[in-house]
Structure 1
Amino acid sequence: MTELIQTIVTSLVDHPEDVVVTEKETGHAVTYQLTVHQDDLGKVIGKQGRIAKAIRTVLFAAASHEDKRVQLEIME
């Protein structure tokens, strides 16, 4: 999943070298924390959160094969 998030986000941003995805697993839930360059934060979130919602939708679809709940946090 980490590679999937990195692949999607690096194609959106101007500073792909600053994309960092960390994974935290707690019980039946996995939280992915996405950190990008400050200038690219708006590009990842999108207007009214549409890009972030689309990334989360793809992530949920990819995780549907596993029995775990998946969350994506975009860190500032």
Structure 2
Amino acid sequence: MKQLIEVIAKALVDHPEQVQVRERQEEKTIVFELSVAPEDMGKVIGKQGRIAKALRTVVGAAAVKEEKRVHVEIV
């Protein structure tokens, strides 16, 4: 799922070399922290958070397939 987030984020931004995804394990959830260049933040979030919500939906669907709980944070 980490690679999935990276591929989607790199396709959205102007500076794909600055896309980083960190994975952190919490109690029953895997948290992915997505960081991009400051000028690309709006492109990843989208108007009214639509792109961020779509990204979370796609990753959530992949997580269901692997029977895991996933949360994506954009930092």
Q: Name the residue aligned to 2:58.
A: 58
Q: Name the residue aligned to 2:3.
A: 3
Gapped regions of structure 2 (runs ≥ 5): none
Report how many aligned residue pairs link the two structures: 75
Question: What percentage of aligned pairs have identical amino acids?
Answer: 55
Paired letter, 2:56: R
Alpha-carbon shift at residue 28 of structure 1 (Å) = 1.6
Conserved? CA contact 1:28–1:69, under 8 Å: yes
Q: Name the residue aligned to 1:49.
A: 49
Please, what is the CA RMSD of the aligned residues? 0.7
Q: Name the residue aligned to 2:32.
A: 32
Structure that is richer in helix per residue? 2
Query: SS of the residue aligned with 1:21?
Result: strand
Alpha-carbon shift at residue 50 of structure 1 (Å) = 0.2
Question: Which whole-Å deviations, capped at 9, do the CAs of 1:14-62 have from their partners, x for residues lacking one?
Answer: 0000000000012320000000000000000000000000000000000
Gapped regions of structure 1 (runs ≥ 5): none
Paired letter, 2:32: Y
Provide the rounded CA distance (Å) in 2 between the counterparts of 1:20 and 1:44. 13
